[in-house]
Structure 1
Amino acid sequence: MRIAILGSAAMSVPPSHQGGTEWIAYYQAKGLAGLGHKITLVSFKGSLPGDYKLIEIGYTYEAKTSADIDEIESSRALRTENVRLAETMGKLAELISDYDLILNNMRGEAVFLPLAKFLGKPLVNVMHLPLFPELANIFKIYNTNIITISNNQRKKFPDLNYLSTVYNCVDTEKYVYNPRPKADYLLMMGTIGRHKNQGAAVRIAKKLGMKLILAGKIRDKEYFEELKKDIDGEQIQWFGELDFGKKVALYQNAKAFLFPIVWEEPFGLVMIEAMACGTPVVAFGNGAIPEVIVNGKTGFVIENNSEEEMAEAVRKIDTIKRQDSRNHVMENFTVEKMVKGYEAALAEIIT
């Protein structure tokens, strides 16, 4: 197959720091190229070359201060990303003879639908984010082929053109299993935001008298200000956005990974990263969580967003065998399994 993979209009593929979709796009490109397919990867500058044709987009203007943009024009980030989407559309038109289908990972997916129709190229959209009514409606208009990353994503819009569900992956050679963690802390990693609900993790850690490490970039500054009153640098610590080695070390040595999210989580890549290292996950059962965690075997799925029940689950976390968490990832969420899932799904479009 000849496939144009649209990676990211915001970050390099793979990302230098935090980023989930970008890693998936990288493994798509690398893995499908490794299976003998001709891949063109269109992504933000700084992306990693490989056995595929890499087309980079993006130009960064270095403002004197963040206030030059953020305080004067709140929509600048959106407009800048739109410029990069336009660059991507131009590359698709320019390279029309190099590919037979488009596999899109970029947010802003709707803008590609009229172009793909005009070019006469089938487009397959990977739903890394939740569906919403306006997007679902335009998918219906264009009869867009959709790959979901969990079955739960389909529930509110069951009548769209779903091609397949392909679960995300983790590189099990990089996320190395650790049977004997060196520390006794709880861990929550991910973007700081109210929907991620780091506050619940803080309250649970304090209730149990356990150390908690929070890590991740700040998306919601107001919410982070609320959290800061409990971040004392000792029992409750915040590490910010981490490099890869530090992130893996934290996963490997945590007693449990907490994930008290209060939104319809599309997948939750951090959960399989933790389990790959042997760390069991305790999560509120929203969105795709029951598809990722085996309740009582690789961690615990907490219903009704109950902090009390999450605390109780942490108390019995030693009943979970770390090897079971690792085995679950090896059986369901490897790079190889994901890539073969994409290959099988895309073959249905070409043949």
Structure 2
Amino acid sequence: MVVPPYFDVPPKAYGGVEAVVADLVDALIDRGHEVVLFGAGEPGTKARFVPVWDEIQADRLGDPFPEVVHALKIRCALERAVAAAGVDLVHDHTFAGPLNAPFYRGLGLPTVVTVHGPVDGDPYVYYRALGSDVSLVAISDRQRALAPDLNWAGRVHNALRIGDWPFRADKSDYALFLGRFTEDKAPHLALEAAHAAGIPLVLAGKCNEPAEKAYFEKAVRPLLTERDQVFGMADAAAKRKLLSEAACLLFPVQWEEPFGMVMIEAMVCGTPVVALRGGAVAEVVMDGVTGRICDDPAELPIAVKEVRDYDPEACRAHVVSHFGEDTLGRGYERVYRDVLWAHRATRVSRVSIRSRPLGAAGAAVGDPA
């Protein structure tokens, strides 16, 4: 299991990919598999952890250098692991890492890659160029439908360890925005909706890159009132408290969100979601039961008022049924088995062709002239 070098697994604050991987690793181990985790930072899962950096590279997020060097470090470390203990396959969650797939194939290993981000524009060109070297896993049906010609091996929704998340039925009088401060995530729309609904907004999330800071100053700060609170980046404990106490989570996405972890994090705490339709939102939220899915920002204020009467138990039950850690483990287990069967069948076929007796001209017997 290969993760990016930017955050611990599980993350101490920001780090959606790392949170999913932590749950996946432990779910697989609970199901009887052996997992070696390659990354940076401190060990925090049940897997054997192999750090390939002295410390996490959070301050270099967005810089291509650590991404590329990380792929090279992983290649060397994984080759040693294969020689020492044996490995069946590589599951990569990084962007540059899949470029190692031909090398892993030389070691007899197939490569599975979870696509945690978008599949349009430049990412589409990249994943398309990887071809059959990697088996891609979508995190939503919508994501897969946007690029049906990629080499998909399956779809596995993200999930949570339910027991790690608190439940609270009585809510405080604020709406919550939790995410990156970008135009795609649209906290400015969350502010407008909360104000129109007569409820303050707490804004928590990542805002440290230049583009995020510029967006905040231009689109968010002018809308803030004295009732609103800019919390900053919340660590794991603070995030759980904010989510469990909020009257609702506002998720007014303006892009094809591949999944949206914060939605299931809110619902498992008993907090309904008010979202704009986009990406995987309709796969995650049960409209009218665990939240409201709106088609226009003008609908958001009414939805904020409506969901305050929704049943918190129903929100948590929805996550337990559809997005629990065991569904994550079983989903990837199916993908791994399919990929391994295909990989072994291909190798047997190649060996069979090579081992056929040669005729006088050097062609395999039975080959067309």
TM-score by length of 1: 0.89
Tell me the equivalent position of 2:252. Answer: 260
Question: Which of residues 27, 32, 36 is equivalent to 2:32?
Answer: 36
**What is the aligned residue count?**
331
Looking at CA atoms only, which structure, 1 or 2, has the larger radius of gyration? Answer: 2
Aligned position for 2:360: none
Asked if 2 retains the 8 angstrom alpha-carbon contact of 1:170 and 1:333, the reply is yes
Instruction: Give a deviation string over 1:50-90, Cα, whole Å, max 9, x none.
Output: 2x32110124599xxx8xx9xxxxx9822123222211121
Stretch of structure 1 that moved more, 77-86 or 192-201: 77-86
User: Aligned residue for 1:95?
Assistant: 81
Contact 1:9–1:85 (CA under 8 A) maintained in structure 2: no
Residue in structure 2 matching 1:249, options 241, 248, 261: 241
Q: CA deviation at 1:119?
A: 2.6
Deviations 1:187-221 (CA, angstroms, capped at 9, x unpaired): 01011111110000011112222110000110411
SS of match in other structure, 2:158: coil
- Higher normalized strand content (fraction of residues): 1
CA shift, 1:136, in A, is 3.0
Within the alignment, does 1:135 sit opposite 2:129 as a pair? no
User: For the Cα contact (< 8 Å) 1:110–1:138, is it kept in 2?
Assistant: no
1:190 pairs with 2:179: yes
C-alpha separation in 2, matches of 1:211 and 1:135: 42
Instruction: Please name the residue that 1:22 is paired with.
Output: 18
> Per the alignment, do residues 61 and 338 of structure 1 end up closer, same or farther by CA in structure 2, a change over 3 Å counting?
closer
> Structure 2 unaligned runs (5+)?
342-369
Deviation at 1:325, TM superposition (A): 0.8
More helix by share: 2
| Residue 48 of structure 1: aligned partner | 44
Structure-1 separation of matches of 2:62 and 2:339: 37
Other-structure match for 1:72: none
Distance 1:197 1:47 in 2: 34
Report the RMSD for the aligned CA atoms in angstroms.
2.0
Alignment of 1:293-312 (within 5 A): 293-303=285-295, 306-312=296-302
> What is the alpha-carbon distance in structure 1 between the residues aligned to residue 90 and residue 186 of structure 2?
35
How far did residue 49 of structure 1 move? Answer: 5.1
Letter in structure 1 aligned against 2:222: K
Matched residue, 2:224: 231
Out of 189, 194, 197, the position equivalent to 1:205 is 194
Give the C-alpha shift of residue 92 in structure 1: 1.9
> How far apart are residue 110 of structure 1 and its match?
3.6
| 1:93 alignment partner, SS class | helix
8 Å Cα contact 2:136-2:151 kept in structure 1: yes
Q: Which residue number corresponds to residue 263 of structure 2?
A: 271
Q: Could you report, residue by residue, the CA deviation over 1:87-111 in whole angstroms, capped at 9, with x for unpaired residues?
A: 1121122222320101111232442
Residue 342 of structure 1 corresponds to which residue in structure 2? 332
Q: Distance in 2 between matches of 1:76 and 1:344?
A: 33
Q: Note the residue ranges of structure 1 that are not aligned, 5 or more in a row.
A: 70-74
Which whole-Å CA distance do the structure 1 matches of 2:307 and 2:9 have between them? 35
| 1:239 alignment partner, SS class | strand
CA distance in 2, matches of 1:267, 1:344: 20
SS in 2 for 1:106: coil
Instruction: Give distance in 2, aligned partners of 1:288 and 1:280.
Output: 16
State the Cα distance separating 1:143 from its structure 2 match: 4.7
Does residue 222 (structure 1) correspond to residue 214 (structure 2)? The answer is yes
1:286-321 deviations in Å (ceiling 9; x for gaps): 100000001111101112xx1111112112123422
Q: Structure 1 residue 288 and structure 2 residue 280: aligned?
A: yes
Higher alpha-carbon deviation: 252-261 or 6-15: 6-15
- Aligned mates of 2:22, 2:195 — CA distance in 1: 39
Looking at structure 2, the residues matched to 283 and 17 of structure 1 have their Cα atoms a distance apart, in angstroms, of: 23
**For residues 298 and 136 of structure 1, do their structure 2 counterparts lie closer, same or farther at Cα, with a shift above 3 Å needed?**
same
Superposition map of 1:122-201 within 5 A = 122-131=110-119, 132-140=123-131, 142-181=132-171, 183-201=172-190
Cα deviation, residue 118, structure 1: 3.0
Partner of 2:108: 120
Call closer, same or farther: CA 1:77–1:301 in 2, change over 3 Å. Answer: same
**CA contact 2:102–2:133 (8 Å) conserved in 1:** no
Identity of aligned residues (%): 29
